[in-house]
Amino acid sequence: MTELPIRNDLIGRSPYGAPQIEVPIRLNTNENPFGPSPDLVAELAKVVSDLGSRLNRYPDRDAVELRADLANYLNSESQVNLTAENIWPANGSNEVMQQLLQLFGGPDKSLLVFDPTYSMYEDYCRNTFTKYLRVSRNADFTIDRTVIDSALALSPDIIVITSPNNPTGTVIELSDIDYLLEKFNGMLIVDEAYAEFRATGTPSALTKLDSNPHLVVVRTMSKAFSYAGARVGYVAANPKVIAAIQLVRLPYHLSTITQAIARVALRFSDQLQRQVSLLRRERDELAIWLSEHGFEVAPSGANFLLFGTFGDRTSIWEQLVEQGVLIRETGPEGWLRVSIGTPEENQAFKTALLHVTNRTNGK
C-alpha cells in the first residue's frame, strides 16, 4: 500500500468497519434483527422484476417519487408538514453526510461533535479536508447549555448532534436544540439515525425545520426499516439546502432499483413500526435487567444499550465471543455496547453475560 502514490494524509490509515466474527448471536452493528417480512419480500420481487427490462435507462436523477414518499412518512412519524422539496435521499446516511460535508465543509471550515459519538464523522471531515473539533459530553453523556456554550466558544462552522447518540443512546432535549439554533449561525446537523426508537412523545428535531434554514436532519432506513443492506439514507431540510446539495451530488447517484425498493418498504411502514415497538420494549426490559444485576446502563432512546463498567472490557468482550455472542467494544473505556436483538437473542446475551461475569440473579 505504502508504495502507491496516495494522499499523504491517508498513508497508514485503516478503513472504517466493525470486526465481523462468525458467531450465532450477532449484536454488534445495531442492525434490526428482523428481516423484511415475506409479504414485503414478495412485493420487492415483483417491483424488481418489472424494472429489469428498463435498466438500460438512467434512474430519475431527482428521485421525485421516493422523496414524496419519504416526506409523507416523516409527516406521519413526526407530525410535521414536509414535501418532496424538503427531502434528499442517497446511498445510506453515510453518503448523505459526505454530501453535506462536501457542501458545507472544506479546508477553511470546521465541524464539531460531542464526544463520545459515532466515529464516522471524523472520516467525513478527513475526506473533505474539514477541521474536526470535539467537545466532551457530561459524565452521564448528556449535552446541556454549559456543554453547548463550550462548543460555541470554538466557533465551528458545522455542529453535528447525534440524537439518539451512538454509542451512548442519549437523546438531546429539544429545548437544547432550540438554544443552539438561537445562538449558532452555522449549519446544525442532527443525525437521527435511531429516531424511530425514541420514547413515545419525544419530539424530533424535524419539528424545528420550518423556521430554521440552517438546520439539517439526517435519517436512515438502515435501522428501524430493517434495510441496512438496501443503503438508503436521507436529509430533511429547507428546500434551499436541498437545492444546494445538487451542486455536489454525483449524477444518477441513486439507482432505479434502490429508489423502487425504498418505496416498497415505505408502504410497509406500519408493519415495520410494530417491530420497532417490540424492540423498544426489549430495550427497556434489558436496561432494567442490567441494572438489577449490578451493571451501569446509559439511558437509551436507540436500539442498543451502552453498559459497564468493566476493569478489562476487552476480556469480557472476548469471553462473550467464546459464548457465541458478538457485541461491540466501543465508547468510553470500561463500557460495552449491545444491539437489541430478537427476544431469544437477548436471552442468550443475558445468559452469556452472567456466565462470564459470574453474577447471580440479584432477585
Ligand X SMILES: *Cc1c(COP(=O)(O)O)cnc(C)c1O
**How many Cβ atoms are within 10 Å of 343's Cβ, its own excluded?**
15
Which residues in 216-255 contact ligand X (CB under 6 A)? 220, 222-223, 228, 233
Which residues in 245-304 contact ligand X (CB under 6 A)? none
102-110, 137-145, 215-223, 280-288 -> range binding ligand X (CB under 6 A)? 215-223
CB-neighbour burial class of residue 76 (10 A; exposed 0-12, middle 13-18, buried 19+)? exposed
**Spatial separation of the C-alpha atoms in residues 104 and 291, rounded to whole Å:** 42
**Comparison of 118 and 289: residue with beta carbon closer to ligand X:** 118
Residue 59 backbone class (left: φ over 0; alpha: ψ -120 to 50; beta: rest): beta
Element containing residue 348 per DSSP (H, E): helix 343-357
**Spatial separation of the C-alpha atoms in residues 331 and 311, rounded to whole Å:** 14
CA angle 91, 262, 166 (to 5 degrees): 55
Question: Any idea what DSSP says for residue 138?
Answer: P
Q: How far is the CB of 95 from ligand X (least distance, A)?
A: 7
**Comparison of 228 and 278: residue with beta carbon closer to ligand X:** 228
Pairing of strands 296-297, 215-220: unpaired
**Comparison of 169 and 308: residue with beta carbon closer to ligand X:** 169
The interface mask with ligand X, positions 308-347, x = CB under 6 A, is ----------------------------------------
Q: How far is the CB of 354 from ligand X (least distance, A)?
A: 28
94 binds ligand X (CB under 6 A): yes
When binding is defined by CB under 6 A, the residue of 36, 89, 92, 301 that contacts ligand X is 92
Which residues in 132-171 contact ligand X (CB under 6 A)? 162, 166
Q: How far is the CB of 348 from ligand X (least distance, A)?
A: 23
Closest alpha carbon to 232 in 201, 195, 263:
263
196 binds ligand X (CB under 6 A): no
The interface mask with ligand X, positions 106-125, x = CB under 6 A, is ------------x-------
When binding is defined by CB under 6 A, the residue of 69, 191, 196, 345 that contacts ligand X is 191
Q: How far is the CB of 186 from ligand X (least distance, A)?
A: 20
Question: Contact, 205 vs 180, CB < 8 A?
Answer: no
| DSSP track, 4-34 | S---GGGTT-----------SEE-SS---SS
Pairing of strands 325-326, 25-26: parallel
30 binds ligand X (CB under 6 A): yes
Task: State which residue has the least CB distance to ligand X.
Answer: 92
**Comparison of 94 and 346: residue with beta carbon closer to ligand X:** 94
Closest alpha carbon to 140 in 313, 363, 308, 11:
308
Q: Give the binding site for ligand X (CB under 6 A).
A: 30, 92-94, 118, 162, 166, 191, 193, 220, 222-223, 228, 233
